[in-house]
Amino acid sequence: MNGGPSGFNNAPVTRGVIVASALFTVFFGLQGRSNKLGFSYLDIFQKPQLWKIIVSTYAFTSTPEMMFGLYLLYYFRVFERQIGSNKYTVFILFSLIVSFFLGSATLALLKDPSSLITAGPYGLIFSSFVPFFFDIPVSTRFRLFGFNFSDKSFIYLAGLQLLLSSWKRSILPGICGIIAGSLYRMNIFYIRRAKLPDFIASLFSRVSWPSTGSPSAATGIRSVPATAPSYAGRQVERNYPTPVVGSVEPSDDSVAMLVSMGFDQDSARQALVQARNDVNVATNILLEAQSH
């Protein structure tokens, strides 16, 4: 099971989070300061250290935690491809902020100076397990040593390993992340409709590194009003590119990525043809068709 085609194609935000997390972890590890990361009741309520809180949001305290954490972040890039980089950035901010305040509230209730929340993007990682549980279908099942497993089991096992990596220090932010992901899924304050201002999204797209993989087929092409493919007997009117006679057949990787999101293979292929093999546009076509 994978998160779609390899690399960070159509997932620049995920790439930025992973690079930042890896750099902070390595930097503080080489300086021997990893054990000083994380934050406690004192860091928040008595001697606030903003830099420590910001760095602790990204940097892991050990190499094993970093390996499992970055692996999960890399896999969960499928959600950025599904909802788009703009909304995924909102999801990241919501997950990190809500999980931080939940963790801070817990520390305030305990009022124990020795209580510490481990460093790392635990809020984002475990918030992502909520859409993973509900939205990613099981594609294969198998038995091992008398137990039933699926292709999703490996992701759950990696998450369990990370959750228990620092025991109480990691369990608390993990639970807070799951709560944050649940609140996002419940669309509290209509958060799932929120988008960043266009100028911020545009600025990010300019400063982000070029995506790996095949370039977007819609780049430089003007979208014109067109009718989206019919799914479940419905027609959805949107401004999507008009199909071109002799258009390139959708790649197997693009189809596989949409199928991994839970879409039907034939519908995914038809949407890719309509979107001129642009995965983001095809995803929007499929999601809008389902919502009508």
What pLDDT, in 10s, does the model give residues 7-29?
888 889 999 999 999 999 999 99
- pLDDT tens digit sequence for 154-212: 999 999 999 999 988 999 999 999 999 999 999 999 999 998 887 675 555 555 444 44
3-state secondary structure at position 117: strand
CATH number listed for the domain at residues 12-193: 1.20.1540.10
pLDDT over 90 percentage in the chain: 42
- pLDDT tens digit sequence for 213-236: 443 433 333 333 344 444 344 444
Q: Give me the residue spans of the domains in the chain.
A: 12-193, 223-291
Q: Say what the pLDDT of residue 261 is.
A: 76
- pLDDT(108) > 80: yes
Residue carrying the six token digits 């220090």: 169
- pLDDT(247) > 60: no
- Measure the CA–CA gap between 204 and 247, rounded to whole angstroms: 31
Q: Say what the pLDDT of residue 51 is.
A: 83
CA angle 65, 66, 69 (to 5 degrees): 80
Q: Which amino acid is at 118?
A: T
Q: Say what the pLDDT of residue 94 is.
A: 97
- pLDDT(5) > 90: no
Q: Say what the pLDDT of residue 111 is.
A: 79
Tokens at residue 44, please? Answer: 């928040």
- Measure the CA–CA gap between 171 and 99, rounded to whole angstroms: 12
- Measure the CA–CA gap between 88 and 14, rounded to whole angstroms: 9
Q: Which amino acid is at 95?
A: S
The pTM of the full predicted model, rounded to 2 decimals, is 0.73
pLDDT band at 53 (very low <50, low <70, confident <90, very high): confident
- pLDDT(243) > 50: no
pLDDT band at 42 (very low <50, low <70, confident <90, very high): confident
CATH number listed for the domain at residues 223-291: 1.10.8.10
pLDDT band at 290 (very low <50, low <70, confident <90, very high): low
Give the lowest-confidence range in 13-17, 93-97, 285-289: 285-289
Q: Dmax of the chain from CA atoms? A: 68
Query: Residue 106's closest CA among 177, 173, 59, 43?
Result: 173
- Determine the average pLDDT of the residues in 245-274: 78
Burial per residue of 176-187, b for 16 or more beta-carbon CB atoms within 10 angstroms, e otherwise: bbbbbbebbbee
CA angle 187, 284, 99 (to 5 degrees): 30
Residue carrying the six token digits 């085609």: 5
- Measure the CA–CA gap between 28 and 45, rounded to whole angstroms: 24
Residue carrying the six token digits 């071109």: 244
* Average pLDDT, rounded, for the chain: 81
- Measure the CA–CA gap between 58 and 53, rounded to whole angstroms: 9
pLDDT over 70 percentage in the chain: 79
- pLDDT(72) > 80: yes
